[in-house]
Chain A
Amino acid sequence: MKQNPYAGLKKVILAGMILVPLIPFILVLGIGYYYFTTSLENNTIASMRRIVQDHRQMIESFLMERKADLEFILNTNRFEDLIRPDKLQRTFENLQTESQAFVDLGIFDISGLHVAYYGPYQLSGKLYDQASWFKAVMRNGFYISNVFLGYRQVPHFVIAVAKMNQGRQWVIRATIDTHIFNDLVKKVRIGKTGEAYLLDAEGVFQTERRSGGPLMKKDPDRPRYGPVHEGIKTFIDSDAHGEPFLYATTWLKDGSWLLVVRQEKADAFKALRRASYLIVLISVIGGAIIIAVAFFLTGRIVRRMERMDQEKDQLDEQLIRAGRLAEIGEMSAGFAHEINNPLQIIKSEYALVEMILADLKERGELKQSEDLAELEDSIDQIKLQVDRCADITQAILQFGRKEEPVIKDIELRAFIPEVVGMVANKAGVHGIAIEQEISDQNSDVHGDLRHLQQVLVNLLNNAIDAVIARHGSSGGAIRIESGPAENGQVEINIRDNGSGISSENLKKVFTPFFTTKPVGKGTGLGLSVCYGIIDKMGGSMAVASQENVGTTFTIRLPSAK
C-alpha cells in the first residue's frame, strides 16, 4: 500500500533528475556540434578553394613561362637564322635548359609551311595553313592547344607564338611533353583521395586522373561541372560511380580548360566524422553518467524520505498516544474525584454500622451466632473493598494530575545511586544484584527530581518483580546504565533478566489500566504514569523485551549541558 506513493514520487524525481541536466547537455552538444561542423565544413571548403586557386596559378604561370620562352626566342632571333638546322638545334637545347617540358621546336612561315623543325619526328615541309591552331595563332598572336594526337598519334599539346609586327611575319611552335605537364597538374595531394585534373570544354581529359580517367578520354562527370563560370565553384556531388565527392572547379585559358580538384566527401570531412563519433561517445557516456547519478540520488532521496516519513509516523503515533493519555488522564481524574464522594459516604456508613453493631453487642442485644460472625465478616469486606477503591482512585488521580514538573539539573552520578538505595533492601532480600554503570560524560539531565525518582523507583520495582517471577530468590540481575545519546539527550537504561513481556503485551505496557498482575495487586497505571511524567519533562520512554530473557526500559531526557 505504502509503496505506491513512493513509486510515483520516485518516477517524478527520476524524470526530473534525468531531464533537467540532459536537456541542456544535449542542447550544448547539439549546438556545439552544429557550429563545429559548420566551421569545419567551411574550413575544408575554403582550403579546397585555396588549393584550386594555387593550382590554377601554378598551371597558368607554367603555360605563361613556356609562352614567354618562345616569345624570347622570337624576339631575339631572326627567321633566316633560326631555319638553319644547327641554329635551331642550339636554340632548342637552350630552351630545354629552361624547361624539360619542351619536346620539339618548329618554325613556320606566314603561309603555314613548316620551314624548319628540330625534334624526334620528321615534320618539316608540311603545310598547316588550314590547321585551326595556325589560324588561331595568326589571329591572336599566340595559341595553346588542347591535348591532341596529331600526325604522331601521341597525345601532346603545342604552344605557338607568332611574330606579327615589324618586318617579316613568322611563327614558332613548341610541343610540350604531356608527361611533365601531367605530373605538374597531378601532383596535388589532399588527404587520401584528393586529386586534380584538367578537362577541356567538352570534358576530355587533358591530364590523367589518378582515380581513373586516361588522357584524351571523355569524363563521364562532365555535365556535373556546368557551363563556364568566373572564379571558383565548390559543390558536393556524386560521381558516375555514385561516390560523393567534394568538388572545386575553375576555368582557365579563357574557358577552354577546366581545372577540377576533388576529394571523396568521406575523406574531406574525416575530421567531421571523427567529431561526430566523439560527440556520440560523449553523449552516450555523459547520458549514462547522468542517468546513473539520477538513479543513485533518487534512490537516496526516496530512501531518506521514506525514513523521514517513518520517523514522522512514529512521532505522530507518540503524539497521538500522549494526547490520548492526557485525555484519559483528565477523564479518569474527573471520574475518580466523583467516585470519592460516594466512597466517603460508604466509609462513613461502614463506620456507623460497625459502631452500632459494637454498641448492640455491648448491650447484649445481639447474641454471638454464626450469622453474626458472617455479618461482621461481610462488613469487614465492605471496608476492605472501599479501601481498594480508594487506592485505585488515588492512583488514577496521580495519573491524571495536572501538576507541571519543576525542571532542574539532575546529576545522575549522585541521583541514580540514591534511587537504587531506595530499592536495594527489597532487591537484596530476593538475592538480586543491582549493577550501576553511569557515564562520566553528560551525566546531568533536565528534569523534575521527584518525578524522575518516582519513575525510576517504579521501573526498578517492576524489574525486581519480573526477576522474582523468573528466578525466585537467586540468580536475578538488574543493571542500570546511563550515558549520552544522540540529539543532546541522555539515556537511562534499566535492564533485567526477568520473565520478560510477550510481544502482544509489549504494545500495551504504557496503556492505562493494562496490567498482568493478579486482581487487586496493581492498578495498571504505573507505567502509563511514568510515560506521562517523562513525556512532560520533554523526554521519551521506550521498552524492549523478550520473554524469558529480560526487559529493558529506556528513558531519554534532555541533557543539562
Chain B
Amino acid sequence: MEAMKIMLVDDEERFLSSTQKLLTKKGYEVVTASSGTEALEKIRGQNIHVVILDVKMPGMDGNATLKEIKRQFPLVEVIMLTGHATMESAIDGLKSGAMDYLMKPTDIDEIILKAEEAFGKRQGLEEKIRVARMRKLVKSPSEIIRES
C-alpha cells in the first residue's frame, strides 16, 4: 500500500524540522512549508495526502490556505492546528472542508492518529473513485451495444 505523504504547514521553522524528523522516523514521508503560499506550490508538484495546517500564520492565514487547497486539490485532507481554545476558527475550518482540528500544544501521537484517520478517509475516497471508474469502463461495452 502507498505510504502516507504528510505536509506540515507552520511559520515556526523549528516545529517543522523537529516534527518532520519525528514523523520521518515513524516512517512517513513528510514535506514542510512555512507559509500558505509555499504549501500550495509544494502540493502542486507532489501527491500530498494529508496537510497539517496551522491556523495562525503571517500573510495567508490557515483558513485562507485551507480554502485554496480545497478549491485546487479537493482530495487533499486537511487537519487544522489551532492555538485558540475558541472553537470559532476550528469550526470555520471544518465548515470550509477541514477533516479535523488539533489543539496546540499537541502530542506527536495525536498528530499521527488524526493524520492516519484522514489518510484512511482519503484512501476510501480514492477507492470509491477507482471503483466508479472501473464500473464505467466495465459498463461501457454494453452501453455501446445498447446505443447501437
With A340-B104, A345-B12 given, name 4 new contacts (CB 8 A): A340-B105, A351-B18, A386-B105, A401-B86
Contact status of A401 and B25, CB under 8 A, knowing A349-B18, A351-B108: no
B83 is an interface residue with CB less than 8 A from chain A:
yes
B105 and A403 form a contact (CB under 8 A):
no
Closest 4 CB pairs of A and B: A397-B85, A343-B105, A340-B104, A348-B18
Q: Is A479 an interface residue (CB 8 A)?
A: no
Question: B15, A344: Cβ atoms under 8 Å?
Answer: yes
The SS class assigned to the A binding surface is helix
Tell me, in angstroms, the Cα distance from A347 to B104 when the chains sit together.
10
Distance, CA A359 to CA B22, complexed state (A): 12
A15 at interface by CB-CB < 8 Å:
no
Q: Is the CB of B107 within 8 A of A351?
A: yes
User: Chain A nearest CB: distance from B23 CB in Å?
Assistant: 10
Q: Are A347 and B107 in contact (CB under 8 A)?
A: yes
Measured in the bound complex, the distance between the Cα atoms of B13 and A370 in whole Å is 35
CA–CA, A333 and B85, complex, Å: 9
Q: Which of A389-425 contact B (CB under 8 A)?
A: 389-390, 394, 397-398, 401-403
In the complex the two chains form, is A402's CB within 8 Å of B18's CB? Answer: no
A348 CA to B21 CA in the complex, in Å?
Answer: 10
Q: Mark B2-41, 1 if CB is under 8 A from A, else 0.
A: 0000000000101100110110010000000000000000
Decide if B106 is an interface residue (CB 8 Å cutoff): yes
- Cross-chain contact B106 with A344 (CB below 8 angstroms): yes
User: What separation, in Å, do the CA atoms of A359 and B65 have in the docked complex?
Assistant: 36
Report B-chain residues with C-beta under 8 Å of the C-beta of A347: 105-108
Q: Mark interface residues in A334-345 (1 if CB within 8 Å of B CB, else 0).
A: 001110110111
Nearest residue (CB) in A for B56 is A337
CA distance A398 to B22 in the complex (A): 31
- The distance in angstroms between the C-alpha atoms of A394 and B106, with both chains bound, is 12
> Contacting A390 at CB < 8 Å: which of B12, B25, B105?
B105
- Verify if B136 is at the interface (C-beta below 8 Å from A): no
- Pairwise interchain contact A355-B25, C-beta atoms closer than 8 A: yes
Residues of B with Cβ closer than 8 Å to A?
A: 12, 14-15, 18-19, 21-22, 25, 56, 83-88, 103-108
Can you report 11 A-B residue pairs in the complex whose CB atoms are below 8 A from each other? A337-B56, A337-B83, A338-B83, A340-B105, A343-B104, A347-B106, A394-B85, A394-B103, A401-B85, A402-B86, A403-B86
Interchain CB contact under 8 A, A352 and B83: no
Q: Which residue of A lies closest to B104 (CB)?
A: A340
Interface flag for A360 (CB, 8 Å):
no
A364 CB to closest chain B CB (Å) equals 18
Q: Are A344 and B104 in contact (CB under 8 A)?
A: yes
> A346 at the A/B interface (Cβ < 8 Å)?
yes
CB distance from A191 to the nearest CB of B (A): 101
Contacts of B104 in A (CB 8 A): 340-341, 343-344
Quick one: which of A95-121 are within 8 Å of B by CB? none
Is there an interface contact between B105 and A397, defined as CB atoms closer than 8 Å? no
What is the minimal beta-carbon distance from A398 to any residue of chain B, in angstroms?
5
Q: How far is the CA of A401 from the CA of B87 in the complex (A)?
A: 10
B18 close to A345 (CB less than 8 A): yes
CB distance from B135 to the nearest CB of A (A): 44
Among B88, B104, B107, residue most surrounded by chain A Cβ atoms (within 10 Å): B104
Closest to A399 in B: B85
Name B87's closest neighbour in chain A (CB-CB): A403
Contacts of B86 in A (CB 8 A): 397, 401-403
Chain A contacts of B19 at CB under 8 A? 348
Contact present for B12 and A344 (CB under 8 Å) = yes
Question: Could you say which residues of chain A place their CB within 8 Å of the CB of B87?
Answer: 403
Q: In the docked arrangement, what's the CA distance between A358 and B103, Å?
A: 27
Most B Cβ at <10 Å: residue of A338, A341, A348: A348
Contact bitstring A230-256, B, C-beta under 8 A = 1, else 0: 000000000000000000000000000
| B105 near A352: Cβ-Cβ < 8 Å | no
B92–chain A nearest beta-carbon distance, Å: 13
A348 proximity list for chain B (CB < 8 A): 14-15, 18-19, 22, 108
Asked if residues A344 and B85 are in contact (CB atoms below 8 Å), the reply is: no
Q: How far is the CA of A359 from the CA of B21 in the complex (A)?
A: 13
B14 partner residues in chain A, CB cutoff 8 A = 345, 348-349
Among A337, A338, A343, A344, chain B packs the most CB atoms within 10 A around the CB of A344
Chain A residues with CB under 8 A of B56: 337
B18 with A403: CB separation less than 8 A: no
Docked Cα-Cα span, A282 to B138, in Å, equals 120
By a CB distance below 8 angstroms, the chain B residues around A333 are 85
Residues of B within 8 Å of A340, CB to CB, are 83, 104-105
Question: Quick one: closest B residue to A402, CB to CB?
Answer: B86
A386 to B104, CA, bound (A): 11
Q: For A345, list chain B residues within 8 Å (CB).
A: 12, 14-15, 18
> Across the interface, do A337 and B105 meet the contact criterion of CB distance under 8 Å?
no
CB neighbours (8 Å) of A352 from chain B are 18, 21-22
A337–B55 alpha-carbon span in the complex (Å): 12
* Contacting residues, chain B, for A403 (C-beta < 8 A): 86-88
CA distance A347 to B110 in the complex (A): 12
B134 to chain A, nearest CB (A): 41
Q: How far is the CA of A296 from the CA of B70 in the complex (A)?
A: 78
Nearest A residue to B14, CB-CB: A345
B8 → A minimal CB distance (Å):
10
A341 & B108 in contact (Cβ 8 Å cutoff): no
Cα(A351)–Cα(B21), bound, Å: 10
Q: How far apart are the CA atoms of A352 and B24 in the complex, in Å?
A: 11
B-contact bits for A74-98, CB 8 A (1 contact / 0 none):
0000000000000000000000000
The reply to whether A355 and B85 form a contact with Cβ atoms under 8 Å apart is no
Q: How far is the CA of A347 from the CA of B15 in the complex (A)?
A: 9
Q: How far is the CB of B38 from chain A (nearest CB, A)?
A: 18
B83 to chain A: which residues have CB within 8 Å? 337-338, 340-341
Q: How far is the CA of A338 from the CA of B106 in the complex (A)?
A: 15
Give the interface centre of A333, A336, A345 by most chain B CB atoms within 10 Å. A345
- CB neighbours (8 Å) of A351 from chain B are 18, 22, 107-108
Candidates B88, B103, B105; contact of A346 at CB < 8 Å: B105
- Which residue of A338, A341, A401 has the most chain B CB atoms within 10 A of its CB atom? A341
Complex Cα distance A397/B89, Å? 13
Which chain A residue lies CB-closest to B13?
A345
